[in-house]
Structures are given as structure tokens and as C-alpha cells.
Copies of this chain bind each other. A is one copy, B any other.
Amino acid sequence: MLQEILNDVGIAVFAASGALLGVRKDFDLWGIVTVGALTGVGGGILRDVVLGITPPSSLQNWPPIVIAAATSVLVFFFHPAFAQLRRSVLLFDAVGMGVFATSGAAIAVDQQVSAFAATLVGLLTAVGGGILRDVLANEIPLLLQPADLYAVPALLGAAVVAVGGGYTSVPMWIWLVAGTIVATGLRIAGLIFGWRLPTAPAGRRRRR
């Protein structure tokens, strides 16, 4: 139940980031809602396609897309307010990322995949929407560029669920809580302490 609510919060926050990018790119209402909706539910759709869950649950059931689309419409009208909220929204985004990573891994464990696959599927669930957003907006995915830690916390949180939920008899909900704390906590710690990964050491960079 709490997980359900946090998941919906995550969808709304992700959708808002997509819709804001759409506003900045001068998309029309349809474009803004489309990018917002795909940012909100894209990770879950990619997760289901990779796991063979068809049709993806975000298409089969209406709440996720309606939440994402409604958030995008709000952004359409009130984007200056949302843009100002961006820094305070980082907390909700961290929670959404953690919930997506762990719930994605748990759904993969349910499908009897390996712990290795479940970890990667959790990661994909957390970051897939943002990658779709940036590809559709014709930008290099933020996730690949030097920035605060994002994917690594998602990967570790998903791994907690994949290994714990897959190989122990401790109930899954404990692993979900633990994994979300790991992912969201590491993300927030990274923001506070400015943790970053290095770029490649200098050298004569050649064209491919």
C-alpha cells in the first residue's frame, strides 16, 4: 500500500521532469504530455518487455499513465512553479528512483530470472524513463553525463532485492524496504556530499 503510493509519487515526479523538458523544447500540449507520460511509465514498460510481461502493465491498467498525463498537464499550465520546485523535488525523485529500482527487481524475481538479471531489470526500471525522455528530446541522456550519482544507487538498491529476495527466505517486503533505503539514501547522500564519478583521464582524444 505504502509502496503503491510511493510508486505513484515516483511516476508523477518522473512525468514532471519529462513535461518540463518538453516545455523547454517548445513542444505543444500533445508533445509535452507524451514525453511526460513516457518518462513516468517508460521504465516500467521496458521492464515488462524485457521480462515478457505483455501487454506491459502500465498499458494494461490506466492509473499509471493517467497520473503521468495529468501531472504533465499541470506542468503545461504551471511550469514556472514546477521549475522553481525542482530542487525540492529532488527528494521525491530520489524516493521514486528507489521504489522503481526495488519494485522492478522484485517483479523480475517473481518471473524467476537470475539475480544478475533482476538487478539489471531493477536498474532499467529506474532509469529507462529518463533515457527515453532524453532520446525523444534529442539530447544526450543525463544519466551518461558527469553528474550526481544516480544509476549506481539504483543498481545497488536493485541488487539488494535481487540477491536477498531471490536467495533467502526472509520475506520480500523486508528486502524492498532495505533496497529502497540503500538506493534512496545513497542518492541523497551523494547529493549532499557532491559525490561524482570521474571522467576519463586526459589523453589525446581521437575521433572514432
Contacts and interface: CB of A to CB of B under 8 A. Distances in A.
Interface of A: 17, 20-32, 34-35, 45, 49-52, 54-56, 59-62, 65, 76-77, 79-80, 83-84, 86, 108, 111, 113-114, 116-117, 120-121, 131, 135-141, 143-147, 151-152, 196-201, 203-208
10 contacts: A17-B208, A23-B205, A27-B146, A28-B147, A49-B50, A50-B55, A79-B205, A131-B136, A135-B136, A137-B144
B208 A61 contact: no
**Most B Cβ at <10 Å: residue of A31, A65, A206:** A31
B136 A138 contact: no
A137 B136 contact: no
Contacts of A152: 30
B24 A144 contact: no
Contacts of A203: 79-80
B151 A28 contact: no
Contacts of A83: 204-206
Given A60-B114, A117-B55, A121-B59, A23 B140 contact: no
Contacts of A62: 114, 116
Nearest to A147: B28
Contacts of A143: 30-31, 34
A61 B114 contact: yes
A44 to B, nearest CB: 12
A166 to B, nearest CB: 13
